[in-house]
Structure 1
Amino acid sequence: MLKSFGRLASAVWRDECIATISHFKRVVLDEEGPAHWGKTFPQALGQKQSPVDIIRSHVQPDPMLLKRPLKYNYQGVLTKHVTNGGFGWRVDVDSLNHNLEGGPLSHRYRLVQFHSHWGETCCDGSEHTVDGETFSGELHLVHYNIDLYDDPGKAASSESGLAVVGIFLKEGSSHPEFEKLCEVLSCVKHKGCKCEDIASPFQISSFLPKDTDNYWTYEGSLTTPPCYESVSWVVLKQPIEISKDQLDAFRSLLTYTEDENNITAIDGPVTKNWRNCQPLEGRVIREPPEQ
């Protein structure tokens, strides 16, 4: 089961992050940019796209979110590998004991992978913004619906298929879990590199801030092509800290392979891998009421 799940997860999230590396370089890194994703990926022109700007005065308190508190059942993790897809790092996991349920979710969701977005400086990098304010980065814990779907591939393109926990990153103190990651990033410096020798297992619960009761939630999409509108978003209000050195290690990853001959002007370090905020298009962002 673990091997089968691992193969599916790896393939799905290789596709989820970007349909093809060539497409990524053409529509993300060059002058066209994410604003033109819809030319290749029609879903990117949908009415439920992510990320969004969270305007606090427009958020609606929802008492139902208090009746079904979010439960983060993260009990250890078996890391499959760390990969550089040419647009950032991704950690794939075998996580039969990593389930998310409650809150806005009507089903159980299982962790598949986690990855991050960042920018050139500490002043940008997050995908979601709060009243227009950006953070130094954003960590995404990606889960798929295990009640409705047998594999993450089907879930990714289906209704209520995914749940993503977004955690803002704020430049500050070094984070021990990110330090474990940084120890292996030199092994995946180039696009296409994969590291399966992870000395210290990740403790996913350690990525969570102290306050997990306060969050924003809405229905949206993947923030990278193919931009499927299948995501229930949970964006935690409290950020976690990450050091400048750790962010610089993220930025040291390269967009090209070690033996690539056709290196162009748009190739180089991954210094910006976030998508701009998308229109809400009438969607409602909810939060648990203050107690």
Structure 2
Amino acid sequence: MPSPRVSAAELQREEERQEALFNSSRRGQQQQQQQQQQKGAAAAAFSPPPMPPLRLPTNCNKRADSIEGCISKLLQCEALAAAEVQQLCRKLSEVLVREPNCLAVETPVTVAGDIHGQFYDLLELFRVVFVLRGNHESRSITEVYGFYDECMRKFAAAAAACVYKSFMEVFDLLPLAAAVDNEYFCAHGGLSREITSIDQLQTINRQQEPPSEGGMSELLCEGFAPSSRGAGLLWGKEVTERFLHLNNLKCVCRAHQLVADGYQ
């Protein structure tokens, strides 16, 4: 049976239709590529900036390989093995056990409380740190607010219990306060009814789980008149001025509560 004859006009229309389909498909591919590039650019904009290498003090050169190896992993957001976490905790404990209850810190220094940001935020803000204990560095809080559960999720059962125990032993050694240039008193919660001087603060036993009440608990939580947060006490101008006068200080710096502008 002979093929139907197609006119030149019909051939022209078919070629135009095919070309239109091709161009439409090509535009779709280009738009998809542009969207992917835009997504990639957006992701790059939110990716953490490259951080300069952290350097250890020169007196740590015998331990540099193992410590810097762990630091390198953390900078690449790689998880540490349970043994590595425990090793770091042991080495940190060796430093903390020699620290006083109230650190003597010299300016220039930035005082920051409740660093609840991303890991890279922590690296960007600080290079040398003086770490103080807060109310979250305790067994009672970590078991409720997720830290205990995170340890259990990230490590095998037997190892997880050991890792959690190592962290708690470090927390028990953290200093409770700092005096900057002997003028600015820093503590996570604030002041205490029982502890009225820095000399007295230096004598208490901090190497323990914070008790539910008393001077140590108040330093980590708040200070004077029942608190709406349940733990600690509220304190005001009169109490602050008396503490500053007795200790020849200018200011009390505390954290523990959110303020709208970041500080006040």
Task: Specify which structure has the bigger relative contact order, considering alpha-carbon pairs within 8 angstroms and separated by 6 or more residues.
Answer: 1
TM over 0.5: no
Give TM-score scaled by structure 1 length.
0.23
Structure (1 or 2) with the larger CA radius of gyration:
2
